[in-house]
Structure 1
Amino acid sequence: MDERTTAGGPEPGADSGAAAGRAAAVRDGGRPPRAPVPALGGFVFSEADEERRRGVRRMKATATGLLVLVAVVYVLATWAEHTGAGAWAGYVRAAAEAGMVGALADWFAVTALFRHPLGLPIPHTAIIPTKKDQLGASLGEFVGENFLSADVVRARLHALRIGSRLGAWLAEPAHADRVTAELATALRGALTVLRDSDVQAVVGEAITRRAETAEIAPGIGKTLERVVADGGHRRVVDLVCAKAHDWLVTHADSVMGAVQGGAPGWTPRFVDRKVGERVYKELLRFLTEMRDMPEHPARGAVDRFLCDFAADLQADTDTRLRVERLKSEILEREEVQDVIASAWTAIRAMILSAAEDEQSELRLRVRASLLSLGARLATDGRLQDKVEGWIEGAVVYVVTTYRAEITSLITDTVAGWDAEHTSRKIEAHIGRDLQFIRINGTVVGALAGLLIHTASRAFGA
């Protein structure tokens, strides 16, 4: 038995590794070095592993000591039997002899798991180092068939009653606050990661494409038709008439000057002035009457025009095409594109502000929704079944679809382990219990030998 391979002594290069760690600590200002990261194909033996290996060594010493003890007893009993000490010496010799056989057999069996006994390449020994990849594949297959099957996963999730548990948990105000805070943090993180230029480009393209593909004339026509039917346009007409009247009053000289300027050059100036004054007075009278008389004929003409225009927007091909050309021209303007692109900046600032403010309407609504959902989940059996069905379906889909990838994590990881390190790691965890097999084999062998010798003497063998 090569105790060096299972002992808890330092690994090769441990002194140099410790020195490197101390040097790193000095460079980092006295901070302790980080925990070592296992290299591909190897393990890091922690303090717990080293303690386990020391326990294995102690149990090995105990089992070996018991073997030596029964060997000494065998020698002494044999000597006593040959010197005529009596029949008892034969019983002791038989028990000790069988105890040695049992101890050696179990030592061979335990040692064969991890290495070649006595370094001899005996077939079917060093099972873990030589069969490591097959063991990993078998373990992955076992996990896939017995832990990642659809029936097992669904039954386990159904037994957990996730819906009712989640509802009871969310119904607690403190838990709803926690989830709200976590969602706000995640939202802020997502908005921080996203680049404004990329989002603006996507948003701008989406809005522009949507606006270009959607025909707006029929929608505008229907809206205008309803507005006119409800009389909603009259306030606009009132406002236009009032503003036009006020403008005429304020710019009387400009209006009369424009009329006089358009008169023929051969007419006398006083005639032009009289004509300008007359035109101005008629315009002012017309706008005053239109402003003050809800039933003015001109208002009726505006109503008929708007009705006809609404009908043309919905049915007249030429009008619809002209509206679409106008829409395209407006969308192509740089000012409009800048407004569309800047929409994301405004939305982002609004969301960030709402996410950071605990009393914002957004967070308060999210919290209230979580509390309401929790209360419903805690009491509504149908909703619980529905949520649990969604969760079970999603998990079962992931498990059944990616079961090969999940189990390959086991097989590939085991395949990447170093055979010697794997054997030592496993022995550190189960080796102490295996030494009890040696001890039990010694005791059971001795009892079996004693029983066989007693039976043989009893039947006169």
Structure 2
Amino acid sequence: MARSTAGVLQGDAALQEQAKVAALRRTKIVAATALVGCIALFAVAKTLEAAWPAMGFVAAFAEAATIGGLADWYAVVALFRRPLGLPIPHTAIIPANQTRIADNLGRFIEVNFLAPGPVREKLKEVDFAALVADWLVDEKRAAGLSRFVGRLVPQMLAAVEQSGLRDFVGQRLKDELEKVKVAPLAADLLSTFTHDRGHQKLFDEIVRALSGVLADEKALEAMREKIRAELPSLFNMFRADAYLLKKIVASAATLLNDVEADADHPLREEFDRFVQGFIAELRTSQDYARRAEKLKHDLLARPEMRDLVGTMWNSLRAFIEDGAAGRNTAIQTHMTSMFVEVGRHLARDPKVRADMNAGFVVALSAFVESQKSGVSTFIADQVKRWDLAQLTRLIEINIGRDLQYIRFNGMIVGGIAGVALYIFERTFLS
């Protein structure tokens, strides 16, 4: 498809060039015919001037028109080649000045077209963010972009591994964890937990667990055996162990039921004081701080912790590589949805688009400013490499037809000037 389109464009360009060449050839023939006609008219008028004096005006017009036409023919031809092949100075102007034309053309484009002001104004006319948004909201394009990113990310991860960044990140993470004071952090976490009485929910779970223990036959049997072992044998003969167990269980069950039903029970208040006191100790106690720091150092020194970063990295890489290979389509699906949503958000939010467009203008104008001298040099070098015949032909094809009209204008203006001079001669000099 791309090749056929390029072929069509090349064919259209060739047809247009042929049409320009044909038009230029016709204009040259007409201009040459008009010049020959002026010469013939001058000869006829001069011949008939003795019989008809009025023909002197015609002869003066034709003579001056011939001179003007020849002068302008010379000027037009001298732009492109040497007239009649003669080595006349200051002719073949364009071929002789190819290098200077190339440099001046490149400099002209750099100064007038790539100046910061015009470039910024032109870039401001383009809504880059809208173009990006329209491109992203197309799910097929977003899916293609997600596949491209999916193929690119494993290469990035491999580059990161080879650069040693993974080990650096692991060491930095360990260093940062070493700086963390565990006891105050734990106190802050507990304070957040107790802020909405979360510790009382934990207390409720403890109460329910104890109630479950009191209803467990095995647990009760173990308690009875413990009581029987502590009581004298005489009491066991009267089954005092069963009586005591029943009393203990009944009292404990009643207490636990009361605690569970009463949000302001004294045991709950005691638990509150215990928790608040423990939090305060964590914040201020040096002993707790030393114990917490020792626990942290021991934990970080374990081999499992040293290998944790590597394990996480390998898992992440395997997950991403599965997505890139198509074995885990969830990644690409989520990425596609993310890109589409980004496009929709851009389309809905004019402020984000304005900020994004401003960034594009700054970045692209800075890029053009840094590269414009290179563009100027590139244009100049390309023009300098052009074949002289090709350069001359290219310019003549595109502007030669307009230049040929200078010959018509030269004949008309010259003829009018010749008549004016003839009238002046007959009026004032005869």
TM-score (norm 1): 0.63
Rounded to whole Å, the distance in 2 between the matches of 1:37 and 1:313 is 82
Read off the aligned partner of 1:99 and give its amino acid letter. Answer: A
Cα distance, 1:457 vs structure 2: 0.7
Is the counterpart of residue 74 in structure 1 residue 42 in structure 2?
A: yes
1:340/1:219 CA distance change after superposition, 3 Å: farther
**Structure 2: gaps (5+ residues):** 217-251, 261-266, 268-273
Match of residue 151 from structure 1? 117
* Partner Cα separation in structure 2 for residue 63 and residue 350 of structure 1: 75
Question: Which residue number in structure 2 is paired with residue 254 of structure 1?
Answer: none
Q: Tell whether 2:37 aligns with 1:58.
A: no
Distance 1:80 1:336, change over 3 A: closer
User: Is residue 2:420 matched to residue 1:451?
Assistant: yes
- Asked whether the 8 Å contact 1:149–1:400 carries over to 2, the reply is yes
2:142 maps to 1:181 = no
Q: Deviations over 1:423-451 (max 9, x none)?
A: 10111111111111111111211111111
Find the partner of 1:408 among 377, 396, 418.
377
- Structure 2 counterpart of 1:440, one-letter code: N
Alignment of 1:310-459 (within 5 A): 319-326=295-302, 329-331=305-307, 335-345=311-321, 349-356=329-336, 360=337, 362=338, 365-374=341-350, 376=351, 384=354, 389-459=358-428
| Residue of structure 1 in register with 2:78 after alignment | 112
Structure 1 position 216 matched with structure 2 position 173: no
CA change 1:389–1:34 in 2 (3 A) is closer
Deviation of 1:71 after TM superposition, in Å, equals: 0.9
The correspondence for 1:87, drawn from 49, 53, 63, is 53
Query: Secondary structure of 1:366's match?
Result: helix
User: Judging changes above 3 Å, is the alpha-carbon distance between structure 1 residues 439 and 193 closer, same or farther for their aligned structure 2 residues?
Assistant: farther
Question: CA contact under 8 A between 1:80 and 1:89: conserved in structure 2?
Answer: yes
8 A Cα contact 2:115 2:369, kept in partner: yes
SS in 2 for 1:459: helix
Offset from partner CA, 1:74-128 (integer Å, 9 cap, x none):
12222223xx223123222221111111111111111111111111222221122
Structure-1 residue corresponding to 2:152: 194
3-state SS in 1 of match to 2:30: helix
Tell me how far apart the structure 2 counterparts of residues 312 and 411 of structure 1 sit (CA, whole Å): 79
Letter matched to residue 118 of structure 2? V
Distance 1:155 1:34 in 2: 32
Q: Report if the CA contact (8 A) 2:81-2:91 is conserved.
A: yes
**How far off its partner does 1:405 sit?**
1.3
Q: What whole-Å deviation, never above 9, does each CA across 1:320-351 have from its counterpart, x for those lacking one?
A: 44333226754279755532432433676444
Contact 2:128-2:360 within 8 A present in 1 as well:
no
* Stretch deviating more after TM superposition (120-129 or 318-327): 318-327
Q: Which amino acid aligns with 2:28?
A: K
Residue by residue, what CA displacement relative to the aligned partner does 1:388-416 show, whole Å, maximum 9, x if unpaired?
65444334322322220122232122122
How far off its partner does 1:151 sit?
2.8
* Native 8 Å contact 1:150 1:396 kept in 2: yes
Q: 1:46 and 1:52 mapped to 2: Cα distance?
A: 10
Unaligned runs of 5+ in 1: 1-30, 39-43, 250-288, 378-382
- 2:315 alignment partner AA: V
Task: Give the direction of change, closer, same or farther, for the CA distance of 1:367–1:70 in structure 2 (3 Å limit).
Answer: closer
Distance 2:288 2:34 in 1: 105
Distance 1:225 1:450 in 2: 112
- Superposition RMSD in Å: 4.7
Contact 1:98 1:448 in 2 (8 A): yes
Instruction: State the 1:226 CA deviation.
Output: 3.7
Percentage of identical aligned residues = 27
Assess if the C-alpha contact under 8 Å between 1:201 and 1:341 holds in 2.
no
The aligned residue for residue 241 of structure 2 is: none
More helix by share: 2
**399-408 vs 66-75, which deviates more?**
399-408
Output the amino acid matched with 2:26.
R
1:47 aligned partner: 15
Report the CA distance between 1:146 and its aligned residue. 1.8
Q: Which of 91, 94, 98 is matched with 1:128 structurally?
A: 94
Question: How far apart, CA to CA, are the structure 2 residues paired with 1:346 and 1:222?
Answer: 42
